Amino acid sequence: MNADTLIEHLADIDSYRRYGKIHRVVGLLIESKGPSASVGDVCLIHIKSGKKVLAEVVGFKGENILLMPFTSVATIAPGCLVEATGKPLEVKVNEELIGQVCDSLGRPLSDMHFTKPFDRVTTNQSPPNPMTRPRISEPIELGVRSINGLLTVGRGQRIGIFAGSGVGKSTLMGMVARNTSADLNVIALIGERGREVREFLEKDLGPEGMKRSIIIVATSDQPALMRIKGAFTATSIAEYFRSKGKDVLLMMDSLTRVAMSQRELGLAVGEPPTTKGYPPSVFAMLPELLERTGTDAHGTITALYTVLVDGDDLDEPVSDTARGILDGHIVLDRALAQKGQYPAINLLKSVSRVMNEICTPEHLKAAQHFRALLAQYTESEDLIAIGAYKPGSSASIDEAIHFHPKLISYLRQSENIGVSLHESIKQLIADFGQEVEDNGV
């Protein structure tokens, strides 16, 4: 860099430090007189111990700024200085993060010594230009037979896993993380109980999944802003590796807790609750976050978002909004889990919106035949169970009864076993493809 360039850079540097003072604290919200800052900027609050607390500008009230801290407000007192940084939150990323567990700010939770320099990326980035997004053209390996064969996911697709509590979301995520063909996993655990973090890492993910994953953790005891930033940090890290030409699998558990954190923040700022207690900012934030994943000119981010279905109601506001934005949904059914079917995927309520674009005609016909058989058996299940159905009364019901053991066998899979995409499709066509041709479908 020559002297003229250095002089130009020096001329652009803002050499002033801008400060304000804490005016009051109400609940989670800090009101400060000054400094000059924009919404989304990070500020440093100087507390009496000499430490600095990170906070983000979330709004304004008159001429005062409203801040939300990344940690507890317990150490903040009236008169504390507030220093403006003039920029939004940035996280440090490089390939040495693979295999690490990090907090919502991208800081590793272990005392690891890094040898390579970091790149800095902002957590609030714009989605790729829709005109530069390549179309989804090939499937991705997820290791789960029922998803590979019947709900085939494309490389760069975004899909939701909808389920109530305790139906097997974490187990399914662990199966996918261990067996996927993606270059690496970025897994965000948002709002989880502290106990469940180690349980997921050691039991569901295991050493095999851990060595190719970056884990972002924001437990339920952390402030709402930290939980929201966990989701945005994980997305930014996935975007960083996508820009390097990699195929990334992003998994977030759960999108509902991100929305609930945004609701907490919005209500604290003074937004009116509009849809079942959710303020408008929740429904503005969801597409901003979800549209950042997918394909771009360099690589892909295939995204799986778990959505907690409150009371198994698929039409509650967050579920309904997410289903409208994502490219498909997988519904985990509590009734199937109680019958011992794992993964408890309700195939008839699930759909992959890009499956028709990435599968062969032979594969699609076999999958359609499978669905038709399962739908017919499900519709007639009560009659069959009580013995009211007389064999020979309906050819389609007789066929569904004949194939029912094979249907259930295909849908069931041990969590310790991964089934490849090729094997899933081969078995599907072998068991259900011939009948399609025979029936002229």
Query: pLDDT, tens digit, for every residue of 392-433?
Result: 888 999 999 999 999 999 999 998 899 999 999 999 999 998
Q: Quote the strand ranges of 63-147, DSSP E.
A: 64-69, 81-88, 90-93, 101-102, 119-122
Fold observed for domain 16-88: Thrombin, subunit H (2.40.10)
φ, ψ (nearest 5 deg) of residue 410: -70, -40
CA–CA separation, 139 vs 363, rounded Å?
Answer: 12
Please give the span between the terminal C-alpha atoms of the chain, in angstroms, as a whole number. 69
91-356 maps to CATH 3.30.70.890: no
User: Closest Cα partner for 309 from 255, 352, 264?
Assistant: 255
Model pLDDT, residue 2: 65
Model pLDDT, residue 440: 40
362-433 maps to CATH 1.20.1270.330: yes
CA–CA distances in Å: residue 243 to residues 126, 134, 136, 240, 303: 14, 14, 17, 5, 16
Are the beta carbons of 311 and 165 closer than 8 angstroms? no
Pull the structure tokens for residue 440: 């002229």
Q: Are strands 213-219 and 101-102 parallel, antiparallel or unpaired?
A: parallel
CA–CA separation, 50 vs 421, rounded Å?
Answer: 56
CA–CA separation, 356 vs 375, rounded Å?
Answer: 20
Phi-psi region of 169 (alpha: psi -120 to 50; beta: other; left: phi over 0): alpha
Model pLDDT, residue 438: 46
Model pLDDT, residue 12: 59
Model pLDDT, residue 439: 45
Question: How do the domains of the chain map onto residue ranges?
Answer: 16-88, 91-356, 362-433
User: Closest Cα partner for 403 from 369, 379, 437?
Assistant: 369
Model pLDDT, residue 441: 38
Respond yes or no on whether the N-terminal peptide bond of residue 110 is cis (omega within 30° of 0): no
Could you tell me how many residues make up the chain?
441
Model pLDDT, residue 198: 87
User: For residue 102, what are the β-bridge partners?
Assistant: 108, 216
Residues of the chain with pLDDT under 70: 1-16, 311-313, 434-441
pLDDT tens for residues 201-239?
888 888 888 999 999 999 988 989 999 999 999 999 999
Which residues have C-beta within 8 Å of that of residue 104, sequence separation ≥ 6?
A: 70, 216, 217, 218, 222, 226, 227, 229, 230, 233
Model pLDDT, residue 402: 93
| Burial readout 25-62 (b: 16 or more C-beta within 10 A, e: otherwise) | beebbbbbebbebeeebbbbbbbeeeeebbbbbbbeee
Are the beta carbons of 263 and 278 closer than 8 angstroms? yes
Are the beta carbons of 234 and 250 closer than 8 angstroms? yes
Pull the structure tokens for residue 298: 């360099």
CA–CA separation, 302 vs 176, rounded Å?
Answer: 12
